Amino acid sequence: MELNKYLKLSPEVAEALAAGKPIVALESTIISHGMPYPQNVETAYACERVCRENGAVPATCAIIGGKLCAGLTAEEIDYLGREGKKVTKASRRDLPMLIAKGMDGATTVAATMIIAHMAGIKVFATGGIGGVHRNGQDTMDVSADLDELGKTPVCVVCAGAKAILDLPRTMEYLETKGVPVIGFGTDELPAFYTAKSGIPLTWRADDPKVVADAVHAADDLKPWPKPTKRAWSARRSPPSCWPGSRRSPAAAASPPTSSWCSTT
């Protein structure tokens, strides 16, 4: 089923969406780039099986022939596993060219979030997200996953960020981007293959309903309500923290979509 010219849903995912069944998005980079064949394919099948055993429909995401796919066949999963690193590792920046060239791509956390959101899937489960690399303050090597988490409304259930990363700076970046990081059953950030990182979390939840309520609240708060007419009339001139700036008449006539001088 094609919802638009870019997005393609498997029949199982399309039926689940129509019926309001729970769906869990899954990434595909772990298949092509994360493990050798056939363990990669066996792991992908196992992840899908766990979703089904718990009452959800799995939606493994990838780009196949230039189509953004939510839900793959067993043959497509096996293809990604066999091709391995010949398949493009796709993040947000890669999607336009993969579409234009009709190519295949295995989705990272960022690209999977984009496809899931386009399809109307609210939950995505993965292993470890990307983050700020060590010495990232000098190299600017920061995963696009972090920006995506700050702007694409999908709940990502994960084992924290990958342990090889700079985890304290990753948490600072997520805070700056306004990403709620909730420890489910833990007060500490997991570090991918270990439950302990030494980094405390601000928020903990032990009840899945609390997490679900937080997800719904986050959705309701985006985009932020626009200021009232009275509040906007008091903000017509540029704020003091914008020195020497001048706004065009057209810009001055319309309210901003976000705060000019917010601090975190």
What are the catalytic residues?
Answer: 27, 162
Element (H, E) at 76: helix 74-83
Give the pair of three-digit tokens for residue 54.
Answer: 């718990």
- Gap between the Cα atoms of 256 and 260, Å rounded: 8
Residue at token pair 């309500």: 225
Give the pair of three-digit tokens for residue 221.
Answer: 């708060």
Report phi then psi at 146, rounded to 5. Answer: -70, -40
Is the Cβ–Cβ distance between 44 and 50 less than 8 Å?
A: no
Which residues are CB-contacts of 29 (< 8 A; sequence separation ≥ 6)? Answer: 89, 90, 106, 107, 108
Residue at token pair 């992840």: 47
Cα 158 to the chain's mean position, in Å? 11
Residue 109 burial (CB count, 10 A): 25
- What does the CA dihedral 183, 196, 126, 179 come to, rounded to 10 degrees? 40
